[in-house]
Amino acid sequence: MNKRPFLVAAAVLGAVFVFFLALVVTVVNWLGHSTPFPLGQKVGVIEITGVIASSRLTNERIIRFKEDNAVKAVVLRIDSPGGGVGPSQEIYREVQKLAAVKPVVVSMGAVAASGGYYVAAPGQRIFANPGTITGSIGVIMEFTNVQELLGKIGLSNEVVKSGQHKDIGSPVRPMSEQDRKILQAMIDDVHLQFISAVAEGRKMDLEAVRPLADGRIFTGRQAMAAGLVDETGNLQDAIDSAAKLGGIAGKPQVVYPPAEKYEFFDYFVEESISHLRRGLNEKSGGGMQFLWAE
């Protein structure tokens, strides 16, 4: 039996497969996306921008790069004034887990304050521009009382509650001293969590962080002098540092997470919700925030 036709067919199929594999890799690399194939040594860049209202998308990207063997180091590019306590802490935890297995370098853009700094703290190296706004280590809750306004237009509010403090922070009654003490205790506890996270991430003594954690903001240069930042530099400086920490020789491939199909729509919805929440917080009180109120 003549096996030559089968060999020719196998060779053609193999050549087609190699061609399409090379085409896929070329297109993916051109788009800056990571692939499931460990082709080359890469630095992954994850961008955290705007108010931190959700951790889902950022954490999915962190986990993706953590599990990608071709990504040898990760750069977090942060341009955020912070946001919710819960989402910031969830991202912080995933950054911690990532930093336990791969080098994580932080690049701060125009602003990386409050929750934006919180998520940066576990990074092995933190870069900031000399004029980056950072710091704002603190926690805030805001309440607005509209009781007098309602009285002027003839409206009153009736509340049936199961306990004395069930309507704590209500915008239609004065805040009692007991309410204030309860809320202040919560703020103080979460503030200590923030200070502890910074002390652990920056390998600083807790008492050395306390004087820096009164909510003040720093420039990047001031933050470096205070020990909150390692170097002044831009995104490319951070990428070069990450490549070196990841053991990459020469110029690294820089990859970004693949765009989700409805990422713009999700971003629009999340930003709209974030602005709505922020507006409601300013008007009637709301959850605790790691947020620099610019």
Q: Which residues contact 214 (CB under 8 A, 6 or more apart)?
A: 137, 138
**Tens digits of residue pLDDT in 212-233:** 999 999 999 999 999 999 999 9
At 257, the pLDDT band (50, 70, 90 cuts) reads very high
Q: What is the mean pLDDT of residues 111-117?
A: 97
153 has pLDDT over 60: yes
Work out whether strand 104-113 and strand 125-128 pair parallel, antiparallel, or are unpaired: parallel
The whole-number pLDDT of residue 208 equals 97
Active site residues: 114, 166
* 186, part of any domain: yes
What domain count does the chain have?
Answer: 1
- What are the residues facing 218 on neighbouring strands? 134
Give the predicted TM-score (pTM) of the model.
0.79
* 239, part of any domain: yes
* 28, part of any domain: no
The whole-number pLDDT of residue 35 equals 45
Residue 174 DSSP label: P
Q: How far apart are CA 163 and CA 169, in angstroms?
A: 14
The whole-number pLDDT of residue 270 equals 60
Token pair for 223:
């933050």
* 98, part of any domain: yes
264 has pLDDT over 90: no
Residue 120 phi, psi dihedral angles, 5° rounding: -80, -25
* 20, part of any domain: no
Domain of 47, in residue numbers: 39-291
Q: Which residue has the higher pLDDT, 41 or 197?
A: 197
The whole-number pLDDT of residue 283 equals 45
- What are the residues facing 33 on neighbouring strands? 256
Q: Which residue has the higher pLDDT, 105 or 9?
A: 105
What CATH number is given to the structural domain containing 82? Answer: 3.90.226.10
* Cβ neighbours, 10 Å, residue 253: 18
By residue count, the chain amounts to: 294
The whole-number pLDDT of residue 90 equals 98
Q: What is the mean pLDDT of residues 39-64?
A: 93
Token pair for 284:
């009637």
At 150, the pLDDT band (50, 70, 90 cuts) reads confident
For 148-177, b/e burial (b = at least 16 CB within 10 A) is eeeeeeeeeeeeeeeeeeeebbbbbeeeee
- Angstrom CA distances, 103 to 18, 75, 248, stand at 33, 8, 12
The whole-number pLDDT of residue 36 equals 44
* 1, part of any domain: no
- The answer to whether 41 touches 68, Cβ cutoff 8 Å, is no
The whole-number pLDDT of residue 37 equals 44
